[in-house]
Amino acid sequence: MDHLDELEARGIHILREAYSCIPNLAMLWSIGKDSTVLLYLARKAFFGHVPFPLVHIDTTYKIPEMTSYRDRLALEWKLTMIVGRNDEALSQKRTFPDGAVDRLGCCALLKTKALRDTLSGQGVRSRLDLATGKYESDRDHEPYTGVIAGIRADEEGSRSKERYFSPRNQENRWDLGDQPPEFWNQYKTDFAPGTHVRIHPLLDWREVDVWEYIDRERIPTVSLYYDKGDGRRYRSLGCYPCTFPIESSAKTPKDIVAELKTGKFKDIAERSGRAQDKEDRGTLEELRRDGYM
């Protein structure tokens, strides 16, 4: 077994453990490379099936190609696709592109709050009708008690301290100072009513592992990650007002692996193209305590 096999086996084990132990499970799919690998791992873990809904938080500022890619795969793979949105903030134009709040404030409303309300069932949940290809209002408003997310420890500081099974209290808060023990392959799977758990099967993966795995398994990824001739591509995907392409001529996953291992990005952090991370040191941890992915 090489280290990709080990990462894959642990990821599958964690996904199966979540499915067996957590009653109302959902998986976050941001359309980015990490959560797409996660989706692929789920299909591997459950032999071609994805036995829980996929939740996408739509800020409406996502790069349009992301949305069309999402719906194409959802229809092709027969996924239970749920989309959540903070319609209130959007209709009141309380966003960064509208000039009403700063970048982090915008993340807090369009991502963190939208996510919180979608998970709890209080917010809008639209479900993709696989027969018509249209989104309909979802009848299910039960809170999700387990949420699988594709975060990685090497992304930034607060994520390096995460657990594979990470509890959130009634207010959705993450108590970083008192995390549960987690040893061998035994995880915290018992929860008080009203609390929920975030599950992180990719915690030990680095950016380069993700790309090596995408290359090895030929996982379809959104084309924004690749240079299509103008010498630019996205290294990390988010909303277009806050995510910027980088100068790179990588056209395939193999090119990206080479770039990360020995090329120009071998010692440059992945989220350097994300503007919201730079506003203040430690604020991402604050966002995450409040429920940001």
Q: What is the contact surface with other proteins in residues (CB under 8 A)? A: 1-6, 8-10, 12-13, 16-17, 19-20, 43-49, 51, 78, 153-154, 156-158, 160-161, 163, 176-177, 179-186, 188, 190-192, 203-204, 206, 209, 212, 267-269, 281-282, 284-285
- Asked if residue 32 lies in contact with residue 236, where contact means CB atoms within 8 angstroms, the answer is yes
CB proximity list for 22: less than 8 A, separation 6 or greater: 145, 146, 189, 197, 199
Report, in Å, the least distance between residue 19 CB and other proteins: 7
Report, in Å, the least distance between residue 132 CB and other proteins: 19
Report, in Å, the least distance between residue 134 CB and other proteins: 21
Indicate the residue among 191 and 234 with the shorter CB distance to other proteins.
191
Q: DSSP letter at 112?
A: I
- Asked if residue 239 lies in contact with residue 208, where contact means CB atoms within 8 angstroms, the answer is no
CA nearest neighbour of 33 among 159, 217, 221: 221
- Exposure class string for 117-141: b at 16+ Cβ within 10 A, else e: bbbeeebbbbbbeeeeeebeebeee
Indicate the residue among 143 and 180 with the shorter CB distance to other proteins.
180
Indicate the residue among 79 and 106 with the shorter CB distance to other proteins.
79
Report, in Å, the least distance between residue 177 CB and other proteins: 6
CA nearest neighbour of 221 among 186, 256, 187, 246: 256
Indicate the residue among 13 and 173 with the shorter CB distance to other proteins.
13
Measured distance CA(148)–CA(151) in Å, rounded:
9
Report, in Å, the least distance between residue 137 CB and other proteins: 23
Indicate the residue among 62 and 163 with the shorter CB distance to other proteins.
163
Indicate the residue among 224 and 287 with the shorter CB distance to other proteins.
287
Q: DSSP letter at 69?
A: H
Report, in Å, the least distance between residue 240 CB and other proteins: 25
Q: DSSP letter at 179?
A: P
